[in-house]
């Protein structure tokens, strides 16, 4: 653990510390942050948990609107422009991209949050971390890179290279840790097989994944671990909120870093807190990012509420299975809610290649077809597995091996062919 004192503290001690930090943050932020000052109005000081629970939720649409009204960063940017040192933007898959800057202090806070992630995965200063990632304007693994420098591990950048060159560079540099999306780890394994490279004999002992939920799905994780002969860990984060979660050695889900975040899981329809065992939308407040604070921010991540006990000893909120889905990628088939991630979890229990989902409309009903690099028998078994495990009919269409797109960043496996 990075901070055993905080990570194993009793939940009421954690809550007390969170509230004190939240009040410190608000006192610092509100005078310079026109966005929250007008959103919250006059607030009692110090804030209590009851008042916190009544603060209005912050949505992405509000941030986009704020930024359009006061470009380039919006009224939510607390500090004068010269104080910002890092620039990132969201990918804009669900609308206009958000430009999000960090001050030096906030960027160091990102690196601090990543120390928890690295420690939980057993990554130390002796490791050589390979970033199979093209460093562009998206946050991707930029913060992991900053954190690796702070940790004292060696960073090996893999940007601007194709998969084959990346595999060669990993080998020649003696990389011990691989950072990439789960999909890309599987793709690298596919390329390695074709090239006759044995990853299991290589030096990589830990793979750390973000961008997609795969590393918390047993079927995806075991495929990555088998291919690499390494332990695969999950990490959850987002440009708007920061690096908020990580899997521990138990790897049954994602722990929320409650030393740096206040996590709420709310029913998307009623806005009320979800009980243990039920699923809802994760709403986060980051406590150390004064330059761009997210207060009660709707992440769009669907999670289920787990326990505060774990074999690793951490007392932080566990999200079993990690991020189950996104509010914006829910597919409703004849009244049944299906997330692409639950389909992926089933696909990966079969020895098939890449896949994608094609949405169409049949009359008034939505329909779904899976295109998959498999043989006919495998495709039929997949169809059966969907009916049995999801309770829905998903048509299968066999496509040639290697014919579907491969992804380095977040995989986009859903094609929407419904006419609107």
The residues binding Zn ion (CB under 5 A) are: 248, 250, 310, 312, 314
77/236 with CB nearer Zn ion:
236
Nearer to Zn ion, 8 or 89 (CB): 8
- Tell me whether residue 146 or residue 310 sits nearer to Zn ion (CB atom): 310
When the beta carbons of 186 and 210 are compared against Zn ion, the nearer one is 210
Q: Shortest CA distance to 247 belongs to which of 375, 119, 92?
A: 119
- Helix, strand, or coil (residue 271): coil
Closest separation in Å from C-beta 336 to Zn ion: 32
Closest to Zn ion by CB, 305 or 310: 310
Q: Are 114 and 143 in contact (CB under 8 A)?
A: yes
Report, in Å, the least distance between residue 179 CB and Zn ion: 20
407/405 Cα distance (integer angstroms): 7
CB of 254 to Zn ion, least distance (A): 9
Q: Report the distance separating Cα 74 and Cα 65, nearest Å.
A: 8
Instruction: Choose between 224 and 312: whose C-beta lies nearer to Zn ion.
Output: 312
Q: Is 66 helix (H, G, I), strand (E, B) or coil?
A: helix
Cα dihedral: 132, 135, 138, 141 (round 10): 50
Would you say 221 and 254 are in contact if contact means Cβ atoms under 8 Å apart?
no
**Cα distance between residue 321 and residue 342, in whole Å:** 10
DSSP SS3 for 115: helix
CB 171 within 8 A of CB 197: yes
| Shortest distance in whole angstroms from residue 282 CB to Zn ion | 18
**Nearest-approach distance from CB 4 to Zn ion, in angstroms:** 12
- Give the closest residue to 39 by CA, choosing from 21, 27, 55, 22: 55
Distance CA 96, CA 112 (A): 29
Query: Minimum distance between the CB of residue 252 and Zn ion, rounded to whole angstroms?
Result: 7
Which of 372, 374, 366 shows the shortest CA–CA distance to 392? 366
b/e per residue, 188-226, with b = 16+ CB within 10 A? bbbebeeeebebeebbbbbbbbbbbbbbbbeebbebbbe
Minimum separation from the CB atom of position 54 to Zn ion (A): 32
Q: Residue 231 in contact with residue 225, Cβ under 8 Å? A: yes
Comparison of 250 and 330: residue with beta carbon closer to Zn ion: 250
Residues 6+ apart with CB under 8 A from 62: 39
Smaller CB distance to Zn ion: residue 314 or 356? 314
| Integer Cα distance of 38 and 55 in angstroms | 12
Q: How far is the CB of 386 from Zn ion (least distance, A)?
A: 31
Instruction: Give me the least distance between CB of 117 and Zn ion, in Å please.
Output: 13
Nearer to Zn ion, 11 or 92 (CB): 11
């Amino acid at each position: 653990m990075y901070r055993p004192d905080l990570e194993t503290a009793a939940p009421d001690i954690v809550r007390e510390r969170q509230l004190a930090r939240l009040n410190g943050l608000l006192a610092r932020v509100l005078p310079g942050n026109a966005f929250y000052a007008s959103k919250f109005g006059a607030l009692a000081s110090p804030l209590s948990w009851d008042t916190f629970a009544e603060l209005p939720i912050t949505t992405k649409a509000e941030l986009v609107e704020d930024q359009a009204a006061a470009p380039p960063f919006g009224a939510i940017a607390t500090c004068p422009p010269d104080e910002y040192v890092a620039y990132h933007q969201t990918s804009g898959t669900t609308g206009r991209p958000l430009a999000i800057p960090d001050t030096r202090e906030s960027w160091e806070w990102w690196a601090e949050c990543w120390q928890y992630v690295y420690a939980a995965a057993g990554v130390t200063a002796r490791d050589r971390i390979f970033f199979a990632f093209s460093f562009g304007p998206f946050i991707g693994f930029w913060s992991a890179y900053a954190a690796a420098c702070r940790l004292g591990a060696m960073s090996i950048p893999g940007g601007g290279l194709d998969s084959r060159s990346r595999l060669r560079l990993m080998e020649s540099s003696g990389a011990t840790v691989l950072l990439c999306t789960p999909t890309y780890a599987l793709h690298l394994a596919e390329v390695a097989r074709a090239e006759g490279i044995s990853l299991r004999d290589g030096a990589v002992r830990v793979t750390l994944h973000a961008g997609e939920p795969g590393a918390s799905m047993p079927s995806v994780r075991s495929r990555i671990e088998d291919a690499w002969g390494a332990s695969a860990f999950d990490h959850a984060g987002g440009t708007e909120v920061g690096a908020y979660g990580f899997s521990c050695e138990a790897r049954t889900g994602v722990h929320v870093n409650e030393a740096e975040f206040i996590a709420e899981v709310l029913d998307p329809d009623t806005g009320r807190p979800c009980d243990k065992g039920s699923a809802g939308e994760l709403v986060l407040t980051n406590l150390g990012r004064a330059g761009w604070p997210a207060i009660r921010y709707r992440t769009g991540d669907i999670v289920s509420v787990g326990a505060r006990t774990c074999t690793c000893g951490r007392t932080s909120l566990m999200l079993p299975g990690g991020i189950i889905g996104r509010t914006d990628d829910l597919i409703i088939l004849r009244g049944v809610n299906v997330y692409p991630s639950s389909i992926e979890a089933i696909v990966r229990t079969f020895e098939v290649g890449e896949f994608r989902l094609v949405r169409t409309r049949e009359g008034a009903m939505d329909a779904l077809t899976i295109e998959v690099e498999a043989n006919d028998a495998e495709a039929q078994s997949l169809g059966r597995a969907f009916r049995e495990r999801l309770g829905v009919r998903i048509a299968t269409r066999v496509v040639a091996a290697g014919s579907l797109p491969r992804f380095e960043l977040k995989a986009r496996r859903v094609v929407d062919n419904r006419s609107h």
